Structure 1
Amino acid sequence: MLSFNLGPLAISVAHALMLFALATALVAGKIAARRRDVPITDTLFNLALAGAVAARLVFVIRYFGEYRPVPLGILDIRDGGFDAIGGLLGMAAYASFVVWRRPALRAPLAAALIAGGLAWGLTGGALTLIEQQAASLPEAQLQTLDGRATDLATLQAEAEGRPMVVNLWATWCPPCRAEMPVLEAAQNERDDVLFVFANQAEAAPTIQRFLDSQDLHIDHVLRDAGGRLAKQAGSAALPTTLFYDGDGRLVDSHLGQLSRASLAAALERFERP
């Protein structure tokens, strides 16, 4: 399972585990502070904010070239562009400043950071197991817009084992529509990567009308008539983008709209040994 629905909200498992680690840190810090009768709630929230700002800032600096054409995209955190190491460094810097100014918070902050770190480590292990369960290529049967049957394994074999980006989308989904030009540009720029666009449960004429109306020229547009591909991949919401290496193993996934920067960051997974 890569994502799940919580009422009207779609949440990725990775983000849910991160929130769990943050909640654990807040609870541990408050308990430790109560024993020493020192206020810490605001400090803990500021610590989380410092980590988030630092994580975003480092990500933007790393991929500034991708944000340059649309500078306002820097403020749009819906693309999920955060740097984990930058966030940890930001939290460490803020915590160091706080304990220097207020030594009484040293023990509660240490308890919060240790508890949060342990929770993150344990949930990170759980996430790794989840990703391993969804690591192989889904076997769902797909159709081209002219009705020919195919599947992801066949497409990757025909592409001589290139890494593959599989975008799960629908024409009625605003974030899907918004990210299509980003994916189209990447397809034109990266001939070493196979891009597949698996439409979820819509008719071929509907898909073709959308592509024509948006003047999109993308290859490998397929129909997942019953939504089986999304179910097998563990996706509960659209858009979801899956990244498979040349051996058909899932190496990354992204829930929600991709920006040029977040897509570039995900594609780097294909270049790591």
Structure 2
Amino acid sequence: MNPVQHIGSLALPWPLLLAAGAAALGLAVGMVLDRRQAAGFWAMAWRVLLVTLLAARLAFVFEYREAFLQAPLDIRDGGWNGQIGVIAGWLYALALMRRQPSVRRPLMAGMGSGTAAWVLGSMALLVHAGNDIRLAAATARTLDGTQIELQSFSGKPTVVNLWATWCPPCRREMPLLQQAQIEHPRVHFVFLNQGEPAEEVRRFLASRQLELSHVLLDPKGQAGANLGGQTGLPTTLFFDARGRLSTRYVGELSHETLEQMLASTGARHAPAAAR
């Protein structure tokens, strides 16, 4: 399943679209049941939604607080903790219902339908996340032209970054990924360039003083397509130690989002001697 929905030049992640759709459904169901219109459902529903979003964001920030303290103004990650947000939203909604029983029916129905849609949709996305995709499906070339099988990186969690020198967000996230190589020696970081010649890639790396391990070429984009990553650049694919796709991220990574994605591969528990 494609992890994003393209709308013109925009690439919107399905989890974001799912959350927006679930919220819209909850608001619509509540409005239908709030026939008197005087119960104040609309204002309360938006307050509940605001609390849900704020709690989800704060939970994510708290989880990765050390990274945020290093760069508190870096908000490009957009990370959130949906479970904590929904729990906080329900607690706030229940408090509102106790104080104003007249909104109980529409607010309960709206929260219930929105939550159910989000939970079921999340399960569907998880089932169709593409966990059958493996590193073994792709080959690439080194900068000197030698063909290499990506399955050779199995045995450690592996991060495959699809990028190009003409892509501004790709260029911006490169220093972060270079630093990640140092911080996570138990993880393979593979930089799979899409469609550019070796000399152009070398010039770019030299001009940015980047020292990246495993810089590979994918001249026709075949390897990227086989890995299910042809959704826009940059796309970063996260594989566990057995070479199975754990998750992917479309767009520019932040330190916090990278740490979150790495956790899905078991990188924090990878044995130090793995090769």
Scaled by the length of structure 2, the TM-score of the pair is: 0.88
Report deviation, 1:34: 3.0
| Residue 135 of structure 2: aligned partner | 137
**C-alpha displacement of 1:36:** 6.7
Q: Distance in 2 between matches of 1:100 and 1:229?
A: 57
- Given that 1:5 and 1:237 are in contact with CA atoms closer than 8 Å, whether structure 2 keeps it comes out as no
1: CA distance, partners of 2:49 / 2:220: 41
- Aligned twin of 2:145: 147
**Match in the other structure for 1:23:** 24
Pair 1:44-2:45 in alignment: yes
Task: Work out the CA distance in 1 between the residues paired with 2:20 and 2:238.
Answer: 24
Q: Which residue of 2 aligns with 1:115?
A: 113
Q: Which residue of 250, 260, 268 corresponds with 2:263?
A: 268
Distance 1:106 1:149, change over 3 A: same
CA deviation map 1:131-184 (0-9, x unaligned): 14554336232111111111321233xxxx001011111112222111111111
Counterpart Cα distance in 1 of 2:23 and 2:210: 41
**Secondary structure of 1:91's aligned partner:** helix
Structure 2 distance, partners of 1:34, 1:210, is 62
Report deviation, 1:37.
Answer: 5.7
Question: Are residues 1:174 and 2:168 paired?
Answer: yes
The aligned residue for residue 204 of structure 1 is 198
- Corresponding residue for 1:103? 101
CA shift, 1:234, in A, is 4.5
What is the one-letter code of the residue matched to 2:7? L
Counterpart CA distance in 2 for 1:138 and 1:130 is 20
Which structure 1 residue ranges, 4+ long, deviate > 6 Å from structure 2? Answer: none
Match of 1:226 in 2: 220
> CA contact under 8 A between 2:164 and 2:233: conserved in structure 1?
yes
Residues 4 and 237 in structure 1, CA contact (< 8 A), matched pair in contact too: no
Correspondence for 1:60: 61
Distance in structure 2 (CA, Å) of the matches to 1:82 and 1:188: 26
**Structure with the bigger percentage of helix:** 1
Q: Is the 8 A contact 2:131 2:244 kept in 1?
A: no
- TM-score with structure 1 length normalisation? 0.89
* In 2, Cα distance between equivalents of 1:22 and 1:6: 20
2-structure distance, mates of 1:120, 1:35: 28
The alpha-carbon distance between structure 1 residues 4 and 202, as it changes in their structure 2 partners (threshold 3 A), is farther
What secondary structure is seen at the aligned counterpart in 2 of 1:222? strand
Q: Shift in Å at residue 119 of structure 1?
A: 1.0
RMSD in angstroms over aligned alpha carbons?
2.1
Match of 2:233, as an amino acid? Answer: L
Match in the other structure for 2:207: 213
User: Larger deviation: 163-172 or 36-45?
Assistant: 36-45
> Which position in structure 2 is the counterpart of 1:11?
12
Identity across matched positions, percent: 38
Distance 2:269 2:108 in 1: 34
Cα separation, 2, equivalents of 1:149 and 1:132: 26
Instruction: Provide closer, same or farther for how the CA distance between residues 39 and 151 of structure 1 changes in structure 2, counting only shifts above 3 A.
Output: farther
Residues 10 and 35 of structure 1: CA distance in aligned 2, closer, same or farther (over 3 Å): same
Give the distance between the partners of 2:104 and 2:91, measured in 1 at CA.
13
Contact 1:138-1:229 within 8 A present in 2 as well: no
Q: CA deviation at 1:86?
A: 2.2
Contact 2:4–2:12 (8 Å) recurs in 1: yes
Flag structure 2 segments of 5+ consecutive residues without an equivalent. 271-275
State which of 123, 126, 130 in structure 1 corresponds to 2:124.
126
Contact 2:56 2:80 (C-alpha < 8 Å) held by counterparts = yes
| 8 A Cα contact 1:170 1:202, kept in partner | yes
Q: Is the 8 A contact 2:164 2:193 kept in 1?
A: yes
The number of aligned residues is 266
What is residue 237 of structure 2 aligned with on the other side? 242
Which ranges of structure 1 fall in alignment gaps of 5 or more residues?
none
Aligned to 1:93: 91
